[in-house]
Amino acid sequence: QPEGQLIVVRLPEFRLHVVDGNNNLFDMDVVVGKEGHNTMIFTGDLNQVVFSPYWNVTPDIVREEIWPAMQRDPNYLASHNMEQTGTHGGLPVIRQLPGEQNSLGKVKFLFPNSFNIYFHDTPAKTLFQKDKRAFSHGCIRLAEPAKLAAYLLKTQPEWNEEKISAAMNSGEEKYVKLKKPVPVLITYYTAWVDDKGLLHFAEDIYDHDKDVKKKMFL
Protein backbone atom coordinates (compact mmCIF):
# COMPACT_ATOMS: atom_id res chain seq x y z
CA GLN A 1 0.00 0.00 0.00
CA PRO A 2 1.46 3.42 -0.94
CA GLU A 3 2.41 5.77 1.88
CA GLY A 4 0.63 9.11 2.19
CA GLN A 5 -2.67 9.91 0.51
CA LEU A 6 -4.71 7.06 -0.89
CA ILE A 7 -8.31 6.52 -2.03
CA VAL A 8 -9.58 2.98 -1.52
CA VAL A 9 -12.85 1.60 -2.87
CA ARG A 10 -13.95 -1.75 -1.44
CA LEU A 11 -16.49 -2.88 -4.03
CA PRO A 12 -18.58 -5.40 -2.01
CA GLU A 13 -18.81 -2.85 0.84
CA PHE A 14 -20.08 -0.09 -1.52
CA ARG A 15 -17.81 2.38 0.28
CA LEU A 16 -14.94 4.71 -0.57
CA HIS A 17 -12.25 5.46 2.02
CA VAL A 18 -9.85 8.41 1.93
CA VAL A 19 -6.72 7.67 3.97
CA ASP A 20 -3.43 9.41 4.68
CA GLY A 21 -0.81 7.01 6.01
CA ASN A 22 -2.51 5.11 8.83
CA ASN A 23 -5.23 7.73 9.29
CA ASN A 24 -8.69 7.18 7.82
CA LEU A 25 -9.80 10.74 6.97
CA PHE A 26 -13.36 10.11 5.74
CA ASP A 27 -15.60 7.58 4.00
CA MET A 28 -18.55 7.82 1.66
CA ASP A 29 -21.13 5.54 0.08
CA VAL A 30 -20.70 4.61 -3.57
CA VAL A 31 -22.70 2.89 -6.32
CA VAL A 32 -20.69 0.35 -8.32
CA GLY A 33 -21.17 -1.69 -11.48
CA LYS A 34 -24.11 -4.06 -11.70
CA GLU A 35 -23.60 -7.72 -12.55
CA GLY A 36 -22.53 -7.99 -16.19
CA HIS A 37 -21.02 -4.48 -15.93
CA ASN A 38 -18.60 -5.32 -13.13
CA THR A 39 -16.36 -2.55 -11.83
CA MET A 40 -12.83 -3.83 -12.44
CA ILE A 41 -10.13 -4.29 -9.78
CA PHE A 42 -7.07 -2.11 -10.49
CA THR A 43 -4.95 0.83 -9.35
CA GLY A 44 -4.61 4.28 -10.91
CA ASP A 45 -3.58 7.86 -10.13
CA LEU A 46 -6.36 10.42 -9.78
CA ASN A 47 -4.96 13.47 -11.59
CA GLN A 48 -7.93 15.55 -12.83
CA VAL A 49 -11.23 16.91 -11.59
CA VAL A 50 -13.77 17.79 -14.29
CA PHE A 51 -16.55 20.20 -13.32
CA SER A 52 -19.87 20.33 -15.25
CA PRO A 53 -18.77 17.41 -17.45
CA TYR A 54 -20.13 16.25 -20.75
CA TRP A 55 -21.04 12.56 -20.78
CA ASN A 56 -19.55 10.99 -23.89
CA VAL A 57 -21.79 7.95 -24.17
CA THR A 58 -19.88 4.72 -24.77
CA PRO A 59 -20.58 2.84 -28.03
CA ASP A 60 -22.09 -0.17 -26.22
CA ILE A 61 -24.62 2.03 -24.36
CA VAL A 62 -25.48 3.81 -27.63
CA ARG A 63 -25.97 0.47 -29.40
CA GLU A 64 -27.89 -1.31 -26.65
CA GLU A 65 -29.94 1.53 -25.13
CA ILE A 66 -29.90 4.92 -26.86
CA TRP A 67 -30.10 3.92 -30.54
CA PRO A 68 -33.18 1.68 -29.95
CA ALA A 69 -34.77 4.51 -27.92
CA MET A 70 -34.09 6.96 -30.77
CA GLN A 71 -35.92 4.66 -33.18
CA ARG A 72 -39.00 4.70 -30.94
CA ASP A 73 -38.88 8.42 -30.09
CA PRO A 74 -37.47 11.01 -32.55
CA ASN A 75 -37.26 13.53 -29.69
CA TYR A 76 -35.30 11.21 -27.38
CA LEU A 77 -32.01 13.14 -27.60
CA ALA A 78 -33.55 16.56 -27.03
CA SER A 79 -35.64 15.34 -24.09
CA HIS A 80 -32.52 13.88 -22.42
CA ASN A 81 -30.32 16.95 -23.07
CA MET A 82 -28.20 14.96 -25.55
CA GLU A 83 -26.74 15.75 -28.95
CA GLN A 84 -25.27 13.78 -31.83
CA THR A 85 -21.73 14.83 -32.74
CA GLY A 86 -21.06 12.39 -35.59
CA THR A 87 -21.28 8.74 -36.58
CA HIS A 88 -18.97 5.79 -36.05
CA GLY A 89 -19.39 2.22 -37.23
CA GLY A 90 -22.91 2.95 -38.46
CA LEU A 91 -24.04 4.29 -35.07
CA PRO A 92 -24.47 7.89 -33.89
CA VAL A 93 -21.83 9.38 -31.61
CA ILE A 94 -23.76 10.83 -28.67
CA ARG A 95 -22.90 13.09 -25.78
CA GLN A 96 -25.02 14.51 -22.99
CA LEU A 97 -24.61 18.19 -22.24
CA PRO A 98 -23.61 19.47 -18.78
CA GLY A 99 -26.51 20.25 -16.47
CA GLU A 100 -29.04 18.88 -14.01
CA GLN A 101 -29.95 15.88 -16.21
CA ASN A 102 -26.38 14.80 -16.91
CA SER A 103 -25.80 11.17 -15.90
CA LEU A 104 -22.37 12.09 -14.50
CA GLY A 105 -23.89 14.76 -12.29
CA LYS A 106 -21.90 17.95 -11.77
CA VAL A 107 -18.35 16.63 -11.39
CA LYS A 108 -16.20 13.65 -12.35
CA PHE A 109 -12.75 12.51 -11.24
CA LEU A 110 -10.28 10.95 -13.68
CA PHE A 111 -7.61 8.35 -12.94
CA PRO A 112 -6.56 7.11 -16.41
CA ASN A 113 -7.02 3.35 -16.88
CA SER A 114 -7.68 0.90 -19.69
CA PHE A 115 -11.18 0.13 -18.34
CA ASN A 116 -12.49 3.71 -18.81
CA ILE A 117 -13.66 3.77 -15.18
CA TYR A 118 -13.84 6.98 -13.14
CA PHE A 119 -15.63 8.48 -10.13
CA HIS A 120 -18.58 10.79 -10.71
CA ASP A 121 -21.56 12.54 -9.19
CA THR A 122 -25.08 11.38 -10.11
CA PRO A 123 -28.56 12.91 -10.29
CA ALA A 124 -29.95 9.54 -9.04
CA LYS A 125 -29.40 10.24 -5.33
CA THR A 126 -32.05 7.74 -4.15
CA LEU A 127 -29.77 4.80 -5.06
CA PHE A 128 -27.60 5.62 -2.04
CA GLN A 129 -30.51 4.74 0.24
CA LYS A 130 -30.31 1.09 -0.83
CA ASP A 131 -28.19 -1.47 1.05
CA LYS A 132 -26.95 -3.15 -2.13
CA ARG A 133 -25.64 -0.53 -4.53
CA ALA A 134 -24.59 -2.32 -7.74
CA PHE A 135 -26.47 -0.36 -10.42
CA SER A 136 -23.97 1.42 -12.69
CA HIS A 137 -22.43 0.50 -16.05
CA GLY A 138 -19.06 0.10 -14.32
CA CYS A 139 -18.07 3.59 -13.19
CA ILE A 140 -18.31 4.54 -9.50
CA ARG A 141 -20.93 7.05 -8.37
CA LEU A 142 -20.18 9.10 -5.26
CA ALA A 143 -22.63 10.15 -2.55
CA GLU A 144 -20.62 13.29 -1.64
CA PRO A 145 -18.64 14.37 -4.71
CA ALA A 146 -18.21 18.00 -3.59
CA LYS A 147 -16.52 16.75 -0.40
CA LEU A 148 -14.00 14.74 -2.42
CA ALA A 149 -13.38 17.70 -4.77
CA ALA A 150 -12.69 20.00 -1.79
CA TYR A 151 -10.28 17.47 -0.30
CA LEU A 152 -8.37 16.92 -3.55
CA LEU A 153 -8.08 20.66 -4.26
CA LYS A 154 -7.27 21.79 -0.71
CA THR A 155 -3.64 22.54 -1.66
CA GLN A 156 -4.83 24.76 -4.52
CA PRO A 157 -6.24 27.73 -2.54
CA GLU A 158 -7.93 29.31 -5.55
CA TRP A 159 -10.35 26.35 -5.39
CA ASN A 160 -12.33 27.13 -2.24
CA GLU A 161 -15.78 25.61 -1.58
CA GLU A 162 -17.55 28.61 -3.13
CA LYS A 163 -15.60 28.31 -6.39
CA ILE A 164 -16.07 24.51 -6.47
CA SER A 165 -19.83 24.96 -6.08
CA ALA A 166 -19.88 27.61 -8.82
CA ALA A 167 -17.92 25.35 -11.21
CA MET A 168 -20.21 22.40 -10.48
CA ASN A 169 -23.23 24.52 -11.39
CA SER A 170 -21.79 26.59 -14.25
CA GLY A 171 -22.97 24.32 -17.07
CA GLU A 172 -19.55 24.78 -18.74
CA GLU A 173 -17.10 21.88 -18.70
CA LYS A 174 -13.82 22.70 -16.90
CA TYR A 175 -10.79 20.45 -16.33
CA VAL A 176 -8.63 21.07 -13.25
CA LYS A 177 -5.31 19.25 -12.96
CA LEU A 178 -4.16 18.22 -9.48
CA LYS A 179 -0.72 19.44 -8.44
CA LYS A 180 -0.08 16.01 -6.94
CA PRO A 181 -2.00 12.95 -8.22
CA VAL A 182 -3.58 10.72 -5.56
CA PRO A 183 -3.33 6.90 -5.91
CA VAL A 184 -6.65 5.07 -6.25
CA LEU A 185 -7.01 1.41 -5.25
CA ILE A 186 -10.14 -0.45 -6.41
CA THR A 187 -10.35 -3.66 -4.33
CA TYR A 188 -12.60 -6.67 -3.95
CA TYR A 189 -12.62 -8.14 -0.45
CA THR A 190 -15.69 -9.84 1.02
CA ALA A 191 -14.04 -10.09 4.47
CA TRP A 192 -11.86 -7.47 6.15
CA VAL A 193 -10.84 -6.08 9.54
CA ASP A 194 -11.49 -2.38 10.16
CA ASP A 195 -9.20 0.05 11.99
CA LYS A 196 -10.96 -0.84 15.28
CA GLY A 197 -10.15 -4.52 14.85
CA LEU A 198 -13.71 -5.56 13.97
CA LEU A 199 -14.25 -8.28 11.36
CA HIS A 200 -16.70 -7.51 8.53
CA PHE A 201 -18.26 -9.69 5.85
CA ALA A 202 -19.97 -8.63 2.61
CA GLU A 203 -21.89 -10.38 -0.14
CA ASP A 204 -19.85 -11.76 -3.05
CA ILE A 205 -21.61 -9.45 -5.54
CA TYR A 206 -19.65 -10.57 -8.64
CA ASP A 207 -19.18 -14.26 -7.61
CA HIS A 208 -15.40 -13.78 -7.54
CA ASP A 209 -15.09 -15.80 -4.33
CA LYS A 210 -17.09 -18.61 -5.91
CA ASP A 211 -14.63 -18.71 -8.83
CA VAL A 212 -11.60 -18.71 -6.49
CA LYS A 213 -13.18 -21.49 -4.41
CA LYS A 214 -13.54 -23.66 -7.53
CA LYS A 215 -9.88 -23.15 -8.39
CA MET A 216 -8.63 -23.78 -4.84
CA PHE A 217 -10.79 -26.83 -4.05
CA LEU A 218 -10.93 -28.81 -7.27
Active-site residues, by number, are 120, 139
Contact 66, 79 (CB under 8 A): no
C-alpha span between 178 and 197 (Å, rounded): 34
Cβ-based burial of 128 (10 A; exposed 0-12, middle 13-18, buried ≥19): middle
SS3 125: helix
Distance CA 39, CA 139 (A): 7
The total number of residues written for the chain in this structure: 218
Taking each helix axis as running N to C, give the angle between helix 145-152 and helix 161-168, from 0 to 180 degrees, rounded to the nearest 10.
130
- Return d(Cα 113, Cα 85) in angstroms, integer: 24
Under 8 Å between Cβ of 195 and 122 = no
